[in-house]
Amino acid sequence: MKDYKTMKRVGVLTSGGDSPGMNAAIRAVVRSCRYYNLESVGILQGYEGLIQNDMLTLGPRSVKNIINQGGTILKTARSEEFRTIEGRKKAYQNIQKNNIDGLIVIGGDGSFKGANIFHQEFNLPFIGIPGTIDNDIFGTDYTIGYDTALNTVVEAVDKLRDTATSHDRVFFVEVMGRDAGFIALNSGIASGAQNILIPEKKDHINELIQSLEQSAKSGKKSSIVVVAEGEELGNVYELAKQVKAKHPDYDIRVTVLGHIQRGGNPSCQDRVLASRLGIAAVEALMKGKTNVMTGLRSNKIVYTPIEEAIQKHHSIDNELLKVAKILAI
């Protein structure tokens, strides 16, 4: 392992799905490197860039005017070749060729798994920064991009409510989150959804139908049902079809928000979070830390062993489940 005192060049890459705020994290890494008299190297297209030697030296002016931009200036891609030992050997050869002493990986748990294997094989120091809209990584209260995605969903559902109210319709709205329900639960509460279906709790189609029936009896003429994409009852179209079969009189519409949730200008919270975690990652390398993820807990920077971040789960707050139930009356 490199001694922290010899840490001179730091590589940074983004991997996996993009999330708003990744650019702010890149900016923080590059500018903190300059602040601490380190060189920074941007690696394009994630791990594929390591294999293809697609890299460029970055400085403070290289990252100007990107803090407000969604996506990632370094691009991101999934690399099948990096899954092979031969691919990882190529990547390490290019790490050596470019004199990179430590690596910062911005991404989700899949990105961290790749970095962890790479570290075990070649002993290269690396720090992870959690960048995913799903907020499903253990070791941090929030991941970069989550807050922006929530705001995007709430804005979209607010607009759908206008047409639902105008036409007395039931809208089923599918949101992202993979197999986690954080986006669905929080955006559902914030947008006043009648029902919120998430993978973490066992939902039953009969309970959903009964809830909609009770809603109609109480005088509600329109409803919003927010469904996480990993909901175990079935996909949003299947759920809408089952409700329609029971109640042909319901005017039901389905909206899948899709990748709109991954784009857009990052929120203030995501920009500040990304800036803090980017600086913390550089400082962690300088202190000799490796194989850890930077995170924020109770508004304090923390470092979580990468294997814990990968293996453990960020759990749903039961109080929020209660809040959703009470407010659906």
CATH code, domain with 172: 3.40.50.460
Of the candidates 38, 117, 18, 24, which has an alpha carbon nearest to the alpha carbon of residue 284? 38
Tokens of 14: 């983004």
Total Cβ atoms within 10 A of residue 201 = 15
**Is 316 part of any domain?**
no
Q: Tens digit of pLDDT for each residue in 235-262?
A: 899 999 999 999 999 999 999 999 999 9
pTM above 0.75, yes or no: yes
55 with 111, same domain?
yes
Q: Where are the beta strands (DSSP E) in 20-117?
A: 39-43, 55-58, 102-107
121 with 172, same domain?
no
Domain CATH for 16? 3.40.50.450
> Domain span at residue 206?
147-262
Rounded to whole angstroms, the Cα distance separating 175 from 186 reads 11
Classified as helix, coil or strand, 140 is coil
Q: How many domains does the chain have?
A: 2
166 with 98, same domain?
no
Rounded to whole angstroms, the Cα distance separating 293 from 226 reads 31
Q: Which residues are catalytic?
A: 134
166 with 60, same domain?
no
CB-based contacts of 240, cutoff 8 Å, min separation 6: 172, 252, 254
**Is 323 part of any domain?**
no
**Is 33 part of any domain?**
yes
Quick one: pLDDT at residue 1?
A: 43
Edge-first strand order for the sheet with 195-197 is 195-197, 223-228, 170-175, 252-256
101 with 18, same domain?
yes
Rounded to whole angstroms, the Cα distance separating 229 from 223 reads 19
151 with 139, same domain?
no
Write the DSSP string, 243-270: HHHH-TTS-EEEEE-GGGGG-SPPPHHH
**Is 195 part of any domain?**
yes
Quick one: pLDDT at residue 280?
A: 98
**Is 78 part of any domain?**
yes
Quick one: pLDDT at residue 5?
A: 55
Rounded to whole angstroms, the Cα distance separating 98 from 41 reads 9
Q: How many CA atoms lie within 13 A of 7 on its CB side?
A: 27
31 with 156, same domain?
no
**Is 289 part of any domain?**
yes
247 with 108, same domain?
no
Quick one: pLDDT at residue 3?
A: 47
CB-based contacts of 174, cutoff 8 Å, min separation 6: 227, 228, 229, 235, 236, 254, 255, 256, 257
133 with 11, same domain?
yes
Of the candidates 62, 46, 65, which has an alpha carbon nearest to the alpha carbon of residue 54? 46
Quick one: pLDDT at residue 177?
A: 84
**Is 301 part of any domain?**
yes
Note whether 288 and 3 are within 8 A (CB): yes
**Is 206 part of any domain?**
yes
Determine the residue type at 286: M
Regions of the chain with pLDDT less than 70: 1-5
Rounded to whole angstroms, the Cα distance separating 307 from 119 reads 12
135 with 159, same domain?
no
17 with 89, same domain?
yes
